[in-house]
């Protein structure tokens, strides 16, 4: 009994050490790519452009034109959506595709660590590299536009800081399922581009869900998409949101999709070894 | 190069060869078509949100705004057909040192690098853009006269050349900064602003999108010309900006080549 407990403790310590080493090496790699990461971050300006159009609409039609959101609420929403998007960007399908084509996957498989963790840690390290730049961009916006500046209340900030990684996990799980199709087709990345379309229009990146017609909004909320952007963004912006329902949806979708991704990996591995790699 | 006739014959050769290579991927066609239709549905839906409670977007009616969206879709299609594949290859040439071979060819290097490849996957976007423009113009009830149509065509060509110049200058900086390709993603992401008429934006952004990043001359001014609501100064400015940008891209290329020390040195 005591032995089993100490084994478990040793296992946990070992896992922690692997995580620490993985994250610190990936972080060192990402620092090399700082310039590119700044450009990637800049190419996430879509919510800020949409903020421009929506504020224009609010200025001419009042809050009625924007689903009841005031100019200030719009500013906070889209800035939050910008931040949420920055920390939930997933590109695993592209690096996985590259790794399989370059034959890097097979040596990874020899190591006593599931390759998925390598990709997860690369994403987390990239987010850390992004952080100072995102903060600088926010500071710049607040400087130009002091009227939208706000400090979320501590409980809201805490909730958002939990919801954003959960949104990242869900987004990662969705893309991981498509990534596993790489074992069967060379066009998996094209499918990811198709998946991006409902994400773009239903997640709340281009419009606050409050401005959607009732039917479309109900439909969107039944998909995983709005929980990955709209919900964490409204948490951060301090708007009225169904907090319990949001967290439940994030958790539920993740719990449904992670096992699918896991079986995809198992099936893919079987095919991979059948091909003689 | 043998004058414009020779250039046209070269282009025909280039494009038939690259089309033959691309057509091997049948699935791509289906995916691209679906993607264009999905994006069209989404863009129309988002545009409709602005008209739910009011009747205009920065002074533009729904039908007029369709023309702007159409021109954006058309230019985005052109980007995927010509700009992205060719200028992406330019960056690769610099990285791999194969730019030397291009410079040795008895063809103007800017011409060769800009038009060598054609990718069919942007063509559905071009088609959808043209349809949107036509539908918008007809429904707006102000069909242009023949000279008006000719002028709109000239302004549209100018807008395409302006877009090309932006891309080309950015890609040409790869002579100094090898990993410049991400910068074109930033360009593409910011040009999304051209989906909506420039008057829909607050004053500060309008200035930015006219004088710093000339989004206004890419979609709004051509749409105004097509709808017959353009002011003469706007049209003239559009043509002037495009001409200047094209000239600047030429000068910039000559300047950049002075710094290109070829792969072996």
List of residues 6+ apart from B80 with CB closer than 8 A = B119, B121, B122, B125
Assess whether pLDDT exceeds 70 at residue B53.
Answer: yes
Name the band, by pLDDT with cuts 50, 70 and 90, for residue B265. very low
Beta bridge partners of B60: B57
Assess whether pLDDT exceeds 50 at residue A186.
Answer: yes
SS3 state of residue B70? helix
Asked whether the beta carbons of residue B189 and residue A44 sit closer than 8 angstroms, the reply is yes
Name the band, by pLDDT with cuts 50, 70 and 90, for residue B102. confident
Q: What is the DSSP letter of B57?
A: B
pLDDT recorded at residue B23? 65
Domain boundaries of chain B, sorted by first residue: 3-263
pLDDT tens by residue, B126-145: 999 999 999 999 999 888 88
Asked whether the beta carbons of residue A56 and residue B58 sit closer than 8 angstroms, the reply is yes
Name the band, by pLDDT with cuts 50, 70 and 90, for residue A1. very low
Rounded CA-CA distance A118/A23 in Å is 9
Average pLDDT, chain B: 88
Nearest CA in chain B to A40: B182
The whole-number average pLDDT for the span B229-255 is: 93
**CB contacts, 8 Å: A42 with chain B:** 186, 189
pLDDT recorded at residue B25? 66
Of A39, A190, A191, the CB nearest to B185: A39
B193's enclosing H/E stretch is none
pLDDT recorded at residue B50? 92
Rounded CA-CA distance A57/A65 in Å is 7
DSSP chain A: -HHHHHHHHHHHHHHHHHHHHHHHHHHHHHHHTHHHHHHHHHTT-HHHHHHHHHHHHHHHH-GGGGTT--HHHHHHHHHHHHHHHHTS---HHHHHHHHHHTT-HHHHHHSSS-HHHHHHHHHHHHHHHHHHHHHHHHHHHHHH-GGG-----HHHHHHHHHHHHHHHHHHHHHHHHHHHGGGT-TTHHHHHHHHHHHHHHHSSSSS-GGGS-HHHHHHHHTSSHHHHHHHHHHHHHT----HHHHHHHHHHHHHHHHHHHHHHHHHHHHHHHHTT-
Assess whether pLDDT exceeds 90 at residue A171.
Answer: yes
Assess whether pLDDT exceeds 60 at residue A36.
Answer: yes
The whole-number average pLDDT for the span A106-115 is: 83
3-state DSSP helix/strand/coil % of chain B, to nearest 5: 80, 0, 20
The whole-number average pLDDT for the span B20-27 is: 68
pLDDT tens by residue, A243-261: 999 999 999 999 999 999 9
pLDDT tens by residue, A48-75: 999 999 999 998 888 888 888 899 999 9
Nearest CA in chain A to B194: A49
How many residues are given for chain A? Answer: 277
> In this structure, what token pair is assigned to residue A151?
């400090």
Asked whether the beta carbons of residue B46 and residue A201 sit closer than 8 angstroms, the reply is yes
Of B49, B183, B192, the CB nearest to A211: B49
**CB contacts, 8 Å: A206 with chain B:** 46
The whole-number average pLDDT for the span A167-191 is: 90
Of A39, A60, A193, the CB nearest to B182: A39
Rounded CA-CA distance A265/A109 in Å is 12
Interface probe, candidates B29, B32, B42, B52, chain A, greatest A C-beta count within 10 A: B52
pLDDT tens by residue, B154-190: 999 999 999 999 999 998 888 888 777 788 888 989 9
Residue ranges making up the domain that contains A141: 2-275
Asked whether the beta carbons of residue B46 and residue A65 sit closer than 8 angstroms, the reply is no
Query: B236 with B158: CB under 8 angstroms?
Result: no
CA-wise closest residue to B80 among B196, B215, A89, B72: B72
Assess whether pLDDT exceeds 90 at residue B79.
Answer: yes
**CB contacts, 8 Å: A187 with chain B:** 25, 27-28, 31
Asked whether the beta carbons of residue A56 and residue B192 sit closer than 8 angstroms, the reply is no
Domains held by chain A: number: 1
B206's enclosing H/E stretch is helix B203-207
**Taking an 8 Å Cβ-Cβ cutoff, which residues of chain B contact chain A?**
25, 27-28, 31, 34-35, 38-39, 42, 45-46, 49-50, 52-54, 56-58, 179, 182-183, 185-186, 188-190, 192-193, 196, 199-202, 204-205
Name the band, by pLDDT with cuts 50, 70 and 90, for residue B242. very high
pLDDT tens by residue, B198-234: 999 999 899 999 999 999 999 999 999 999 988 999 9
> In this structure, what token pair is assigned to residue B97?
């040192």
Average pLDDT, chain A: 90
Name the band, by pLDDT with cuts 50, 70 and 90, for residue B150. very high
pLDDT, greater one: B111 or A236: A236
Rounded CA-CA distance A51/B192 in Å is 13
The whole-number average pLDDT for the span A224-247 is: 95
Of A49, A64, A187, the CB nearest to B192: A49
């Amino acid at each position: 009994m005591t032995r089993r407990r100490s084994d478990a403790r040793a296992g946990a310590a070992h896992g922690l050490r692997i995580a620490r080493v993985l994250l610190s090496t990936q972080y060192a790699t990402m620092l090399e790519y700082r310039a590119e990461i700044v450009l990637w971050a800049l190419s996430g300006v879509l919510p800020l452009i949409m903020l421009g159009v929506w504020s224009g609409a609010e200025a001419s039609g009042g809050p009625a034109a924007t689903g009841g959101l005031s100019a200030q609420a719009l500013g906070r929403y889209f800035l939050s959506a910008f931040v949420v998007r920055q920390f939930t960007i997933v590109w695993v399908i592209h690096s996985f595709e590259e790794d399989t084509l370059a034959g890097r996957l097979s040596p990874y498989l020899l190591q006593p660590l599931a390759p998925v963790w390598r990709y997860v840690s690369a994403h987390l390290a990239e987010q850390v590299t992004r952080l100072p730049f995102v903060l600088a961009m926010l500071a710049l916006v607040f400087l130009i536009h002091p009227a939208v500046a706000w400090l979320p209340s501590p409980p809201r900030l805490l909730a958002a800081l939990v919801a954003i990684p959960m949104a990242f996990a869900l987004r990662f799980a969705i893309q991981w399922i498509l990534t596993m199709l790489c074992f069967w087709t060379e066009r998996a990345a094209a499918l990811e581009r198709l998946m991006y379309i409902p994400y773009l229009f239903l997640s709340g990146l281009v419009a606050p869900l409050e401005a959607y017609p009732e039917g479309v909004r109900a439909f969107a909320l039944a998909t995983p998409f709005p929980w990955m952007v709209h919900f964490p963004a409204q948490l951060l912006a301090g708007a009225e949101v169904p907090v319990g329902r949001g967290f439940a949806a994030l958790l539920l979708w993740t719990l449904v999709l992670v096992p699918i991704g896991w079986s995809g990996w198992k099936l893919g591995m079987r095919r991979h070894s059948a091909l003689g790699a | 190069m043998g004058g414009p006739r020779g250039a046209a014959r070269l282009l025909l050769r280039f494009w038939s060869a690259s089309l033959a290579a691309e057509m091997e991927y049948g699935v791509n066609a289906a995916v691209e078509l679906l993607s264009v239709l999905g994006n069209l549905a989404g863009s129309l839906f988002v545009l409709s949100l602005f008209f739910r409670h009011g009747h205009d977007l920065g002074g533009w009616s729904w039908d007029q705004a369709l023309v702007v969206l159409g021109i954006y879709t058309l230019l985005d299609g052109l980007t995927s057909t010509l700009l992205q594949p060719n200028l992406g290859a330019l960056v690769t040439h610099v990285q791999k040192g194969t730019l030397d071979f291009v410079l040795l060819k008895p063809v103007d290097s800017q011409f060769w690098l800009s038009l060598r490849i054609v990718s069919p996957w942007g063509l559905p976007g071009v088609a959808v853009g043209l349809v949107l423009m036509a539908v918008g113009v007809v429904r707006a009830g102000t069909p242009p006269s023949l000279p008006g149509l000719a002028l709109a065509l000239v302004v549209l060509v100018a807008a395409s050349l302006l877009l090309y110049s932006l891309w080309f200058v950015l890609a040409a900086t790869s002579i100094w900064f090898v990993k410049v390709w991400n910068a074109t993603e930033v360009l593409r992401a910011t040009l999304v602003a051209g989906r909506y008429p420039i008057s829909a934006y607050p004053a500060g952004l309008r200035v930015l999108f006219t004088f710093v990043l000339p989004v206004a001359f890419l979609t709004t001014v051509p749409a105004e010309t097509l709808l017959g609501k353009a002011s003469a100064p706007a049209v003239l400015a559009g043509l002037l900006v495009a001409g200047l940008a094209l000239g600047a891209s030429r000068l910039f290329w000559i300047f950049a080549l002075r710094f290109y020390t070829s792969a072996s040195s």
